[in-house]
Structure 1
Amino acid sequence: MSFYVARQPILKKDKSLFAYELLFRNGPENAFPDISLDEATQRLVEGSEFNSGIQQLTGNSLAFVNFTARSLKQRLPLLMPHDQIVVELLETITPTAAVVEAVLELKQKGYTIALDDFEYSDAWQPLIEIADIIKYDFQALGANGLKQQMDLLQGFSGVYLAEKIETHDEFTRAKEMGFSLFQGYFFARPEMVKSRTLNASQQIYTQLLSLVSQSNFSIPDVVKTVEKDTGMSFKLLRFANSAVYQRRQKVETLRQAIVFLGQKELQRFVAIIALSELGSGKPEELLKLSILRARFCEMMANDLSTAKLDPSHAFLTGLLSNLDAIMNDTIENLLARIAISEKISDALVAKKGPLAFLISLINAFERANWPVIKQACERLQRPEVEVANIYKQAADWVETLND
């Protein structure tokens, strides 16, 4: 039996990362696989997608994992460390005495309990008293419906989580209503601001993006621009010595780093650092999302050799796909400042071409839109599980950058 997983960030009020929800795909159901305890135990022992895989996917952050009534009664959550997961009870569960007993046991053993897509009924009262987190679908209930639901839980002392928050206005409204945790891609959308003038540092980083966006860029030109920023050399050295490369001997000088990295890796590093500096003050998760898109698109371009996609173009397309949210401006205005390939521009502005198709595919993974993923894989003539594995490898790679 094969299954795979997508992840969605859950943020705090300050837009810092709280956890990821892991959404498993197993046949037609997007839930924790309803498999036997023996099989689950075997997979855990083998270090498959569950235990070590979860830690890699979340970068040691908490993981929200959906559980069915059957998996709760089988005590499947006990196979995972209590300090690594949040046990999320699906809204389809019937809160029988056996389910309540299982959840209470988990709570007593230190597990955090969340109720998913919650809508109040008296039958859920025993689980409300146990729960630490209650999740509401912001889109399905609307502001009035949410208020009515929350008014029914006056005695609840836990945390409210608003999911499907898609705009900054919705994020602000949810905070005002008393929510503390937020799930959705509002942080990957531009905020309306009065001034979009670039300061001196931002101009340097925009210049760097322009330089490395060229297929045959000049390394001396990049180095000259890097040296204008006092922190860039340090970051380049840190990148060259990161766990990504698993070097035995430390790189100690800028020249060594440049020689070691070579043109391709230097391009990748400069693009990532330039984007991170342009996004200073933005949620860290926004940059991680951009890098994940970049790596996924690059790996897919390498895999799809018959499509004759330039992997470096694919990487930059993914990396720049959130530039509007990072810079709070339209993608059209921003790309006008960067001398960028027409293929990349077509993908990001006109939303056309094979690079745009890769962006739509990674967007589907971000939202766990399995039907769209299936259609895309059929079009690419690639098995879903292979493409899903590329997504997971890309997510793992992003986490190694923090090491």
Structure 2
Amino acid sequence: MEILVTSLDSILDGDHQLDVLMARQPIYSKNQDVVAFELLFRGDDPHAMSPQKDEVATFDVVMNTYASVVGDGGEQRLPFYLKVTDKVLLSGTLPALPPALFALELLGRSNVTPELAAALQEKAKEGYKIVLADYDPNDVRLQPLLNIAHVVKLDIQALGMARLPEVIQKLRPHNLDLLADKVETKEEFRQCLEMGFSLYQGFFLSRPEPIKGKRIAGNKVLLLQLLTELDRETATGASLEQIAVNDPALTYKILKVVNSAAFKVPREVESLSHAITLLGLDQIRRWILLFLTTGVNGSPTELTRNMLIRGRMCELIAELSGYQGAMNYFMVGLLSQLDALFDIEMAELLEQVPLNSEVKNALLHYTGSLGDTLRDVENYERGQFDLLMARIPRSYYEVAYRHSLNWSDTVIKALRG
């Protein structure tokens, strides 16, 4: 345990440990921009916010990291959707959270009573946005709440796509924002867009729309050539530069990033061979992988961000678990959504990407410690905390996740120059 604590301090710079596990899930606009996050707690227990609010330093960490995001408009703070039940609202235990940064999402298992409606009405007067989740048009108990809520969340999988137009028509007189929940494919997103939904939640950005025979194109091919060369035992700065010379703009961009705040190099790096001397082949491989996963056909920033978070968190968990070859864990996490980025089936895509069989099998079949770590990270980001293998202390998952959120923003800033 002492070794783990030392490792954690050195990797994560002694980040403050919280008493709860948390993750965030993005809520998108029609343009696939992130406009809010749903805040997930271990067991979705809103009471967990109470000790966080009492400890000001911890609450600030939560707000400054989980709410912070770097987008096209620069760095900004986005609001949270916080799940609550009738018991929480009526018990008086909900902390006094800032209304501008928190929307209250009432869960469908709540007992709807006149007292609950009055409590929601009071929260709405205080400035909170009220979100009605798990909406069932056949549940007459929910009808009075439609005059209080600002947003209604529709589980499109439970309701079924064919039934949605009828449900939307019934909700129209209430002038509500409609949130399509559990949008799993880009085709479902397009259908919901046509139906008039204004908000979207789900993993549709992570799913590819395979185009048969499609291949990686443009300067991505050059990056693959660099990766192939890096895998050779005889790789040198000179051999890499011989490939990179075919795209001077890419070489310039790589060096610009290496010289940015993302790296703490002692002096300006002037060439790839110079960068390798200072940073080593693994760090150069890391950044070539990052360039491979960014700037593809206008792909949403959130997909790139999630790839970065996964890569870094897989790497940190590997190091905290004492696994060798942490760079392979970074690659597995980072490339786990490469199929969605390029719209190429993963099996077909991996035929074009030079990776060892252990990494490929982890991406395709979740095999070995690489696959186990990837599955752990995917479960964490979805808020499925009970499925964690817990090979490290559970609180370390949250610290690694929070660090990865910050790291991804640093990388996005560096990639944008």
TM-score in terms of structure 2 length: 0.81
- Deviation per CA, 1:276-302, whole angstroms, max 9, x where unpaired? 14x332222221111111111111111
Q: Is the 8 A contact 1:44 1:50 kept in 2?
A: no
Aligned partner of 1:33 in structure 2 is: 47
Q: Where do 5+ consecutive residues of structure 2 fail to align?
A: 1-17, 71-75
* Structure 1 residues 388 and 47, CA gap change in structure 2 (3 angstroms): closer
| Counterpart check, 1:359 vs 2:370 | no
Q: Which amino acid aligns with 1:205?
A: L
| Counterpart check, 1:149 vs 2:167 | yes
Aligned partner of 1:270 in structure 2 is: 288
Q: 2:36 aligns with which of 19, 22, 36?
A: 19
Q: Which amino acid aligns with 2:310?
A: R
Q: Is the 8 A contact 2:53 2:95 kept in 1?
A: no
* Structure 1 residues 191 and 60, CA gap change in structure 2 (3 angstroms): same
| Counterpart check, 1:200 vs 2:218 | yes
Q: Secondary structure at the match of 1:65?
A: strand
> Residues of 2 paired with 1:212 and 1:131: CA distance?
56
Aligned partner of 2:180 in structure 1 is: 162
Aligned partner of 2:258 in structure 1 is: 240
| Counterpart check, 1:55 vs 2:60 | no
Q: 2:393 aligns with which of 374, 383, 393?
A: 383
Deviation at 1:141, TM superposition (A): 1.3
> Residues of 2 paired with 1:66 and 1:361: CA distance?
23
Residue correspondences, number = 388
Q: Secondary structure at the match of 2:174?
A: coil
* Structure 1 residues 168 and 231, CA gap change in structure 2 (3 angstroms): same
Aligned partner of 2:228 in structure 1 is: 210
Deviation at 1:272, TM superposition (A): 0.5
Aligned partner of 2:3 in structure 1 is: none
* Structure 1 residues 229 and 76, CA gap change in structure 2 (3 angstroms): farther
Deviation at 1:165, TM superposition (A): 1.4
Deviation at 1:242, TM superposition (A): 4.5
* Structure 1 residues 101 and 321, CA gap change in structure 2 (3 angstroms): same
Deviation at 1:49, TM superposition (A): 5.9
Q: Is the 8 A contact 2:22 2:40 kept in 1?
A: yes
- Deviation per CA, 1:79-102, whole angstroms, max 9, x where unpaired? 23x333332222223344443344
Q: Is the 8 A contact 1:78 1:106 kept in 2?
A: no
Deviation at 1:271, TM superposition (A): 1.0
Q: 1:303 aligns with which of 299, 304, 320?
A: 320
Deviation at 1:123, TM superposition (A): 3.6
Deviation at 1:171, TM superposition (A): 1.9
> Residues of 1 paired with 2:316 and 2:105: CA distance?
32
* Structure 1 residues 290 and 53, CA gap change in structure 2 (3 angstroms): closer
Q: 1:396 aligns with which of 378, 384, 406?
A: 406
> Residues of 2 paired with 1:47 and 1:172: CA distance?
37
Aligned partner of 1:10 in structure 2 is: 27
> Residues of 1 paired with 2:359 and 2:48: CA distance?
42
Greater shift in the superposed pair: 69-78 or 4-13? 69-78
Deviation at 1:142, TM superposition (A): 1.0
> Residues of 1 paired with 2:235 and 2:363: CA distance?
21
> Residues of 2 paired with 1:96 and 1:185: CA distance?
34
* Aligned alpha-carbon RMSD (Å): 3.1
Aligned partner of 2:12 in structure 1 is: none
Greater shift in the superposed pair: 255-264 or 147-156? 255-264
Q: Is the 8 A contact 1:21 1:63 kept in 2?
A: yes
> Residues of 2 paired with 1:353 and 1:211: CA distance?
26
Aligned partner of 1:329 in structure 2 is: 344
Q: Is the 8 A contact 2:338 2:346 kept in 1?
A: yes
Greater shift in the superposed pair: 120-129 or 291-300? 120-129
| Counterpart check, 1:312 vs 2:345 | no
* Structure 1 residues 391 and 40, CA gap change in structure 2 (3 angstroms): closer
- Deviation per CA, 1:189-215, whole angstroms, max 9, x where unpaired? 111325514433232233234344568
| Counterpart check, 1:89 vs 2:106 | yes
Q: Which of structure 1's runs of 4+ aligned residues deviate more than 6 A?
A: none
Q: 1:42 aligns with which of 32, 54, 69?
A: 54
> Residues of 1 paired with 2:78 and 2:264: CA distance?
23
* Structure 1 residues 231 and 64, CA gap change in structure 2 (3 angstroms): farther
Q: Which amino acid aligns with 2:45?
A: A
Greater shift in the superposed pair: 98-107 or 181-190? 98-107
Q: Which amino acid aligns with 1:118?
A: Y
